Structure 1
Amino acid sequence: MNSIKPEIARIALVGCGPISNFHVDAVNGVGMRVTDVAASKNSVTVGSFASKFDIPNVWKDPEQLILEGSWDGLVLAAPTKAMLPLLTLAISRNLPVLVEKPVAMSSFALDSIQGNPQQVMVAYNRRFYPKIQELKQILQISKPALISVEIPEKLLPSSTGALNEIYSGVIQNSAHMFDIIRFLAGALEIVFVDSPGDRKRELGSLMVLRSEHGHLISLKMNYQASANFSITADIDTKRYSLLPLELLSIYDGMNVVEPTQEVPVRSYKPQLQSQLRSDPSEFKYKPGFLGQAQAFKELMLGEPSSYMAHLDDTRKALQIAEILINPLNQLPFPIKIN
């Protein structure tokens, strides 16, 4: 077992953007402390960030912090395009690293990673939503389910027309959803994917996947739709709905409302059996971040959580994104995500 005492563990942080605020709060919330911070070289904002959170050691160079700092664990919250060189340096220290998702802009870029990736935890914080974990437990013991996933991601303007710019949100944000599908349903293979019209990807895409447990998943990329990210699972008469992802609603049966003189139309409403809301205490932190920090603490103790995401998990999430983004012609279905 690792000799680190997590209650006094020294955590170094690279990055001082908005997401870093949540990491500091969560690290403190599980009894550790951020003692060192750096951002981009010669950052003009890192000093005020350190003062805000009472971080004693400020570094001008993130690479120097990674290589020379006295830390027990490292949180990398740098921009995705700057992440891989920093992660490569961090792995050379052979100490635990929590790195923001999706780590890289392509699955192929991860091939450059050397060293001990088992010490690396990827920050897919939605794995630590209590309601997502509850649905995972249900799907592990249930008969095969029909699962629907809706991802109304935004498309971004690009002066060059580069796909990785237009579909940047699919890579950097929707990767969360691709990871959650695998987390909930198990190993996947893609059996079908298509887009409306003459396969115009910008109009959206429909992907059908099958899991190792037999779950059949319909994934709808309805870009810029007036909708919310959601997941539903239908098992026999029950429907499990994550909408929003922090709330698990369970429906069983239909209520039939007979027509009346005032409302001469029969209506059918799903019967709400239970609604599992997050505990109010969870809202002190960004959802999932406290559980994620606790899992990072366990990794530092040499007791990795079964819920933590590894580099191979983010590789597979990126593979799904790449299939949705790239030309759809001549894809050899089924495609195993491995």
Structure 2
Amino acid sequence: MKRLVIIGPGNIAKFHIQALKYFNFEIVGCISRDGSNSSHEFMSNYGKNKSEYFSDFNYMLHNTNEWDAVLISCPTINQFEYIDKLSKFQKPILVEKPVSLSIDKLVKYKNNSNIMVAFNRRYYESVKEFKTFVNLSKNIFINVNIPESSKSINEKSPSNFLPISIYENSIHIFDLINYLFDNVSWSNIISSNNSKLEFLSAHGLCKSGSPIVINLMLDSPENFSISANVGNKKVQLKPIEMYRLYEGFQIDEPSDQVPIRRYSPRVIDESYSESIMNCKPGFYNQAKTFSELCDGKKDITFPNINDAAKAIESINSISKLIKEI
């Protein structure tokens, strides 16, 4: 049994626990902010009363023999504080993204091998297939669409131009860009010419020399998507859970219903990331990897603090280009 402490028993924690339960994790501690009753409400859903777990962080710090691993799923503003206090124990930590919005804070722990960041989309089968195709291809052109919400644009953000949701939600996409295409150098952008950002198009080069374009369209009726064109083939994640491989065109001749000739990309392969054991996509395999980390398994790869720092750095690079316009 792996004795787990949850810090931040919110909705996302429920998805983690649903997956972690398949790998012999037992909740022995559940900690929420001072004055909150959420830890007790959360644990009651798992049939545990207050005598069966601890809920005090100071108790946790002074009784490290009573727990083996930690899930940190509290709001971003508090995540790094817990990392800072727990890292010295060198026990496995699974922390929700983005961990911190500060590069300076993140780089402090970029080499810690016991901290795993919950970029669960890396574990999608669709992403795995996409990465396999890209790794076997040369001279690719990459296009990314991010239709983020503008609702948080006035909330406190590291950027004066980008909404906080880019850092806390769309960071998944920036992590996938780094994961799929290695380091990207952003060179220039085109954006809406007014005080309120509505759209931007950022252009860059991957480490391989392949060009990449990100289209950020606030409130657009679009799906998040990543695509790569290679000759007469195109691979696409749209939404990220869905993988499609296109080759050539299918010609639809005029008909009574549609009196024009249409050229549609021909789908030759298609798959999607299914739920495993009724878990949210990506969470089961993410939990499996975290379990292996807890078991001390060697030679496993997982998203870490350095990956979170790289994703934040990519967003900051684009924000800097906006400022220079």
- TM-score normalised by structure 2 residue count: 0.90
| Superposed displacement of residue 213, structure 1 | 2.3
What are the residue-to-residue correspondences of 1:238-257 with 2, within 5 Å?
Answer: 238-257=233-252
1:177-216 matches, cutoff 5 A: 177-197=173-193, 202-216=197-211
Distance 1:58 1:118 in 2: 28
Aligned to 2:167: 171
Question: Deviations for 1:43-80, whole angstroms, at most 9, x for unmatched residues?
Answer: 21211211212456433333432452422111111110
The range that moved more, 132-141 or 52-61, is 52-61
- Assess, with a 3 A threshold, how the Cα gap between structure 1 residues 325 and 300 changes in structure 2: closer, same or farther: same
Structure 1 position 152 matched with structure 2 position 147: yes
Match of 1:301 among 295, 301, 305: 295
In structure 1, the partner of 2:85 is 89
Tell me what 1:5 maps to: none
Matched, 1:39 2:35: no
CA shift in 2, pair 1:211/1:326, >3 Å: closer
Q: In structure 2, what residue type is equivalent to 1:285?
A: C
Output the amino acid matched with 1:32.
F
Partner residue, 2:315? 321
Aligned to 1:336: none
Assess if the C-alpha contact under 8 Å between 1:247 and 1:275 holds in 2.
Answer: yes
Task: Tell me the residue number matched to 2:43.
Answer: 50
Pairing partner for 1:61 from 56, 59, 66 = 56
Structure 1 unaligned regions, length at least 5? 1-7, 332-338
Output the amino acid matched with 1:187. Answer: N
Q: Give the CA deviation at 1:276.
A: 0.9
Query: Alpha carbons of 1:155 and 1:324: their partners in 2 closer, same or farther (altered >3 Å)?
Result: farther
Q: Is the 8 A contact 1:22 1:289 kept in 2?
A: yes
Which string of whole-angstrom CA distances, capped at 9 and with x for unpartnered residues, describes residues 59-117 of structure 1? 33334324524221111111100111101111011111111100012323324x35961
Contact 1:205-1:222 at 8 Å conserved across structures: yes
Summarize the Cα distance change of 1:58–1:208 in structure 2 as closer, same or farther, 3 Å threshold. same
Question: 1:214 Cα deviation (Å)?
Answer: 2.8
1:27 to 20, 29, 41: 20
Give 1:170 deviation, angstroms.
0.7
Q: Is the deviation greater in 309-318 or in 101-110?
A: 101-110
Residue identity matched to 1:108: D
Cα distance, 1:21–1:304 mapped onto 2, change above 3 Å: farther
**SS of alignment partner, residue 144 of structure 1:** coil
Q: 1:162 to 1:168 in 2, by over 3 A?
A: closer
Distance 1:311 1:273, change over 3 A: same
Q: Is the 8 A contact 2:111 2:305 kept in 1?
A: no
Q: 1:207 to 1:160 in 2, by over 3 A?
A: closer
Q: Residues of 2 paired with 1:10 and 1:328: CA distance?
A: 46
- Cα 1:60/1:41, change in 2 over 3 Å: farther
Q: Judging changes above 3 Å, is the alpha-carbon distance between structure 1 residues 114 and 130 closer, same or farther for their aligned structure 2 residues?
A: closer
CA root-mean-square deviation: 2.5
Q: Does 1:277 align with 2:269?
A: no
Alpha-carbon distance in 2 for matches of 1:207, 1:115: 27
What displacement does 1:196 show?
2.5
**Distance 1:304-1:236 versus aligned 2 partners, 3 A rule:** farther
Unaligned runs of 5+ in 2: none
- Structure 2 distance, partners of 1:250, 1:114, is 38
Once residues 64 and 325 of structure 1 are traced to their aligned partners in structure 2, the CA distance between those partners, rounded to angstroms, is: 41
1:291 to 254, 261, 285: 285
* Partner Cα separation in structure 2 for residue 321 and residue 105 of structure 1: 10
Q: 1:117 is paired with a residue of what secondary structure?
A: coil
CA deviation map 1:134-179 (0-9, x unaligned): 1112211211311111001112357788665961101101111000
Name 2:7's counterpart in structure 1: 14
CA 137–261 in structure 1, closer or farther in 2 if over 3 Å, else same: closer
Contact 2:29–2:55, Cα closer than 8 Å, also in 1:
no
- 2:178 aligned partner, one-letter code: R
Q: Give the conservation status (yes or no) of the 8 Å contact 1:94–1:116.
A: no
Letter in 2 for 1:315: A
Distance 2:124 2:62 in 1: 33
> How many pairs are equivalent?
321
SS in 1 for 2:197: helix
Cα 1:114–1:267 shift into 2, 3 Å = closer
